[in-house]
Amino acid sequence: MTTQRILIVDDDAGGRMTLAANLELDGYEVVTAEGGAEAVRIVREQGPFALVITDFRMPEMDGLDTLRAIREVAPAVRIVIATGFAEESRVDAAVTEGAFAVLTKPICMERALRVLSHALAGPVVVVVDEAGDANALVSALNARAIDALACTLDEALASSRPLDGCVVAVHLAEESKLRALAARSGTRVTLVYVTNPRERMPRTCTVPGFVVPRPIDVPWLARTMAQARAAT
């Protein structure tokens, strides 16, 4: 099995070194960069990386600029943000542009290792809806480097891919299958029910989840997934 490679971007040497050491102890190959520009160069010259974890407030390039620049070089790479300032609008922009999760600094290493391990497992968001709507949402999510897959609940259950999100049209939501899906996954599945105008949630839908009207707000979904993943 190939060792997964992680790039850590942080201008703070202590944060960079301790995260790298702990990740290496878990068997990952780690490369570090002191800033966004160096990170982009490394991704270009030494890629591919399975994951990038970047500090947000850095001189020259902040986390959002770094995310955007890395995406130019490696569009599909998962990027985790680490920041002490989660309320910043630019952090929110990074999240809605598809940052996998936001870790609060100073980093709690046990949580960070869980979140990064989850990210490296390659979780997918399944979209269970009529083909047109499902494909449109999947495209929108993929454009933000959020892995998503249009399928039925049966296909999701049969799939071997790890999943941590399920967007399901209310009329296709089957209680028993949703419960089985949640049980099958090793992590919590964020469930989002999509409703049509004036459509009510059936009483049979008792699996906890968000209920949102169609068309689904993609930035909201990206934000919700990032929050859920950070709480893994």
Partner 1 sequence: MTSRDAAIGARAAEAIASAKTSHLRHGLRNRLGSIRNAAFFLRRRARPEWLEAEPRLAEFLDLIQAEASAGEVLLAEASAERGAGEPTDFGSAVAAGAATAEQEWTSAEPIAPGPVVAAPFLDVASAVKLVLDAAAALETRSFSVGAAELTVAWPGDGTDPRVEAAHRLLRAWGGRVAIDREAHVVRLALPVPA
Residue 58 near partner 1 by CB under 8 A:
yes
Instruction: Return the number of other C-beta atoms located less than 10 Å from residue 97's C-beta.
Output: 18
Q: Which of 8, 9, 19, 149 touches partner 1 by CB under 8 A?
A: 19
Of the pair 14, 132, the CB lying nearest partner 1 is at: 14
Of the pair 103, 153, the CB lying nearest partner 1 is at: 103
Of the pair 15, 162, the CB lying nearest partner 1 is at: 15
Q: Which of 15, 47, 162, 219 touches partner 1 by CB under 8 A?
A: 15
Q: Contacts with partner 1: how many residues (CB under 8 A)? A: 25
Residues between 69 and 98 that touch partner 1 (CB under 8 A): 84-85, 87-88
- Listed in sequence order, the DSSP H helices in 74-152 are 89-96, 109-120, 131-142
* Two tokens, residue 52: 């990038």
* Two tokens, residue 24: 């290496």
The contact pattern for partner 1, residues 100-129, with x = CB under 8 A and - = no contact, is -----xxx-xx-------------------
Of the pair 11, 133, the CB lying nearest partner 1 is at: 11
CB of 83 to partner 1, least distance (A): 10
Residue 57 near partner 1 by CB under 8 A:
yes
CB of 53 to partner 1, least distance (A): 13
Distance CA 38, CA 129 (A): 42
Give helix 109-120 / helix 13-25 axis angle, nearest 10°. Answer: 60
User: Would you give the DSSP letter of residue 193?
Assistant: E
Omega cis (within 30) before 48 = yes
Residue 150 bridge partners (DSSP): 127
Q: Which of 34, 62, 97, 147 touches partner 1 by CB under 8 A?
A: 62
What's CA 132's distance to the chain center, in Å?
24
Distance CA 165, CA 211 (A): 14
Residue 189 bridge partners (DSSP): none
CB of 62 to partner 1, least distance (A): 5
**Burial grade of 125 (CB within 10 A; 0-12, 13-18, 19 or more):** buried
Of the pair 88, 133, the CB lying nearest partner 1 is at: 88
Interface residues with partner 1 (CB under 8 A)? 11-12, 14-15, 17-19, 21-22, 25, 57-62, 84-85, 87-88, 105-107, 109-110
